[in-house]
Each structure stands twice: as structure tokens, then as C-alpha cells.
Structure 1
């Protein structure tokens, strides 16, 4: 299933690969929030594999021709058909709904192309803007609070909100959304 990008509307998610990783790092290095984003790319957005099957699908996101941030789909278990998603948006692009508008691409990848049944996301309880972004994404349902399950910027354990969407919910809400797979 090799592809280069997923596009819907004016948002394109460009797959980060071993071949373009250095170029992606260079693209983000020029922004004021570069240190944080470069660390995120290296820790979370580069390809990972299990038994020669890709499990980490990191993307850099563009709106039109402008770099906007990062989007991620991780396959947590092929056997249980479960994945998780995340996003990091450039400071100057925040508040424009980019992360919620990128989710149909990730849902298409997870549910249609990879055959997942469940995609989860979450955020630290202190991260109000991420919580609002998740709540703006149609289909995500709040499932609860995972106690002391994430590290905050100070390195302390903090509770996290847990949300998920199921394949059947995606089919009702997003199935008609056109996502173009660019090879």
C-alpha cells in the first residue's frame, strides 16, 4: 500500500518516510517553535515497523501550499484492529481547525486502507486547546479519564482524557468524505 499523500479539500497529509525525513526536519527547523516540533517528529512521526508491517504513519500537513503541522496514525494492534491518532500544529496555524480537518484523512487510512475498527486519541487534562480540538472532531466520543497516564512538560504524571471513534461511527459520518490517495 505505498502512497505519498492523502488529500481532502485543501488539506494534504504528506507521508513521512525514511527517504524524506531529513527534508521534513529541515522544513520545520525555520519556525519559532522548531525545537519542540523537531523533537516530536523524531520521537513520534518517523516510520516504525513490527514484523515488517508499518505501524507508525507520520505526516506533515499542508493547507493549500502552506505548512501547517503534523498528523499521526499509529497502529497499536493489528490483531485487535486498534490505532491511535495525534497532531501537532505550528503555533501560527493554531486555532484554524487544522487538526480536526485532518482527521478524515487519518480515519480513511485507518478504517478503509488498514482495516482498523477503533481509533483512539487523548490529551492531558491540562491541555485545554487539545481537548477542544478533539471535541470539534465529529465521531470522537469521550470514554473517560486515564489516571496518571501521561507526562506533562514538567515531567510529572498527569491524568489524560480518552476519546475514540469506531469504524461503524466513521461509516455513518465520514464514509462519503472524498479522500484522495496520491501515489
Structure 2
């Protein structure tokens, strides 16, 4: 969603996903400029190719080695937004970014973002997103699984393995 909003507002969007099919979807269906397969590509090398002047804005919900790789490719004044850390949730000892000195060297910033902090702007966001969806500028990718409440634990585990493509929905 963030990459699509970036494209709509005139930015270049580079996605990072797991597997060739997900990367192909980012570029061919959703309209990203490029996609990096973190399972088979050298993320740092691919970022050098796709963002030769560095990364200006990085929206992170993974953390770990992917965040570390992006931190090595920041442009001066870059902004890193942390909205999650999927790679860290099940670790006994979560690790912080190893390449945090890049924030200093590049005069960059890293900020946490929780959507509930913007609750007062939900109506505005809803109107804008609905407009973009109606205009065909925004694609809603959903992975719907029909089942019962007993299916919830296995579906939840699938979020941590990348089994879904798009927003995972359990339809009861």
C-alpha cells in the first residue's frame, strides 16, 4: 500500500518481497518500478542498481537483515519509517539495527509509526484511498481463505512464513 501511494504521489517505488511471483506482482500488477527478491537477490547490490543515488524514504515492517541492508544505502537526509519488525517478533532476543551509524553519516532519521496515532485523520485517508481505488490508481491485494475459527492459528503462522500474498483474510 505504501509503495502504491508513493507511486501515485510521483515517487519511484522499489519493493522488497520474498519470491519471484511476489516480485513480479509488485512490478507487473501493482506498478512498482522494481522489486528485489530478498530470498535470492543480494539486497545491497540490487539497491545499488535500482537506487544508485541512495534510498530517500524507506518504510520498514520487517527489520533485521533487510533493514540493515537498506541502512547501508541511505541518501543524505533519508527518512526511515518503522511500522513493524516481522523478522524479530518470534526471536528470543530481538536485535536492533547493526548499521545504525548510517543514520548519522547520512544525516538521516528513523521514526516509529503506529497507524492509531493518526486516528483523527481516518476520514481523510478513507476518502483519498477510496478515490484512488475507484480511479484504478490503487490495487487492493487480498488473500482470502474460507474456513472456521479453528483455522486461525495456522493462518496466523503463515503470516510469518510469507504464505500469503496481500492482506490475509479469514472468511468465516
Superposition TM-score, scaled by structure 1 size? 0.29
Q: Of Structure 1 and Structure 2, which has the larger fraction of its residues in strand? A: 1
Q: Of the two structures, which has the highest relative contact order with CA contacts closer than 8 Å and spacing of 6 or more?
A: 1
